[in-house]
Structure 1
């Protein structure tokens, strides 16, 4: 799963709803009219392609979540255990660096899956009833895994804080409880100079200091990651509601195009009928005028002949 977010075939920037390949309205105008008249043209084909794309992305997200769960229960738990059990400065540093690597890998995967879900919601037809259930389930699965990861990190953070306190007490055996509390808080905030290594057991005190500093560094990174994960969780939770109007607008726009084409055809047919009727009436009027002229001429000739007699 470590290649999530670095994939070229299915990674970022691959989907363009307005490209010639994915936009059902990118065909020439004449062809669109033929497709609509045929009843199963580009619009239906585009919808089918979008549905397939949405379901494929849902599958990719759920596969990624299963991999994340295995990583959380395996590599992450092991890295946390190694830092908690390390006893020398060298071990502490190596364990924390390994933990950082695993955490970054997991966080990058969460961001990648979040972006995949965004792509799903930006795809025309994502609000269709045929895929909406799957999209909703996928969204809930993503939020659930974020919650599980946050819980694992929160529990680990508490254990690290307990170790920092014990290490501080070892390094400062003469400190009062108030001094210990203040010293621990200073260390957790990154104020390393506040960690005093005094007493007869200088080496043991220095080892305790190094252990506390490595753990406080890990704690601060967890806190930073948790803030980002909270924002990511909120984005996922609100994504369906936020993107739905845009999706509906796209779908409505697609329907409007079909309806407009149909109405245009009806208007053209009506115009043709009206033009034919107009030409027919022109001939009727011309015939009537000719008849009237013939009658007038006939009457005039008759009157003239009568006068001669």
Structure 2
């Protein structure tokens, strides 16, 4: 079987092929900007979800003593966090796909990437803030149940470093009250919530790394494109200079021919007169 060869690209740059390339380029640009608009819509949705999660976190802290409110918020939070995770992954994938297309609108991709990172940073702040505020609340509650708690015990409870057992023992030794039992139950529930937040923060850290790689790739592509542009400009200037040299040589040759013709004509005329 004959080996397949890559078609000669120059063949398609003339005649009817140029019209085909122009149409394909127009379709490609239309698809590119359509995807840009879709990503902008996703970014808007991401910001709305982050704001909603922030409100739910605040309500959770305010209504921590209300079990019904806590359960309702927990369900809404789980749903919102999952939807937000999906939006984030779609935007990340779309930005990488746009980068692969090598469109001339590199600044548009860069702007979208910056807006994406800003939204991620806002989400990260919401989760970190809730995590820290919840830890502070847990520490205060533990000190109420066990006023003589050591700093190490408080840290263990707050960081969940064996803290659940310490909290349980404190409740058992506190002449069991309704408040102590309620606080212990809340602690058990919130430990799971903190673990979810830590997973979210780890995912965000990975996406920040991915966006850093994308930014580096954009810089590399910009340098490569710049080098290609320089080479093309040099080739164009070289071709123009070569054409000027050819016309200059042609002009000199024409002048020499005219001079020789005049010389022969004058010499021939003088010889006949003599």
Equivalent position to 1:48, from 26, 35, 48:
26
RCO comparison, higher one (Cα < 8 Å, 6+) = 1
Equivalent position to 2:131, from 145, 157, 165:
157
> Distance between the aligned counterparts of 1:184 and 1:147, measured in 2?
25
> Distance between the aligned counterparts of 1:160 and 1:181, measured in 2?
13
Offset from partner CA, 1:172-206 (integer Å, 9 cap, x none): 34433432233333x3x576334212212432111
> Distance between the aligned counterparts of 1:35 and 1:118, measured in 2?
29
CA distance 1:57–1:68, change in 2 (3 Å): same
The answer (yes or no) to whether the contact 2:106–2:218 under 8 Å persists in 1 is no
Equivalent position to 2:191, from 199, 202, 216:
216
- Alpha-carbon shift at residue 169 of structure 1 (Å): 2.4
Equivalent in the alignment of 1:256: none
Equivalent in the alignment of 1:207: 182
Q: Does 1:105 align with 2:83?
A: yes
- Alpha-carbon shift at residue 39 of structure 1 (Å): 6.2
> Distance between the aligned counterparts of 1:62 and 1:81, measured in 2?
27
- Flag the structure with higher helix content: 2
Equivalent in the alignment of 2:167: 195
Equivalent position to 2:150, from 176, 182, 186:
176
CA distance 1:242–1:184, change in 2 (3 Å): same
Q: Secondary structure at the match of 1:218?
A: helix
> Distance between the aligned counterparts of 2:146 and 2:71, measured in 1?
22
> Distance between the aligned counterparts of 2:72 and 2:209, measured in 1?
34
Equivalent in the alignment of 1:134: 108
Unaligned runs of 5+ in 1: 1-28, 253-309
- Alpha-carbon shift at residue 59 of structure 1 (Å): 1.4
TM-score (norm 1): 0.61
Equivalent in the alignment of 2:203: 228
> Distance between the aligned counterparts of 2:177 and 2:147, measured in 1?
11
The answer (yes or no) to whether the contact 1:35–1:41 under 8 Å persists in 2 is no
The answer (yes or no) to whether the contact 1:190–1:216 under 8 Å persists in 2 is no
CA distance 1:91–1:171, change in 2 (3 Å): farther
CA distance 1:96–1:173, change in 2 (3 Å): farther
TM-score (norm 2): 0.68
Unaligned runs of 5+ in 2: 1-6, 229-274
- Alpha-carbon shift at residue 115 of structure 1 (Å): 0.5
> Distance between the aligned counterparts of 2:25 and 2:57, measured in 1?
47
Offset from partner CA, 1:75-96 (integer Å, 9 cap, x none): 2123112311221445434433
Matches within 5 A, 1:283-298: none
- Alpha-carbon shift at residue 34 of structure 1 (Å): 5.9
> Distance between the aligned counterparts of 1:232 and 1:70, measured in 2?
19
Offset from partner CA, 1:254-290 (integer Å, 9 cap, x none): xxxxxxxxxxxxxxxxxxxxxxxxxxxxxxxxxxxxx
Q: Does 1:63 align with 2:41?
A: yes
The alignment yields a C-alpha RMSD, in angstroms, of: 3.3
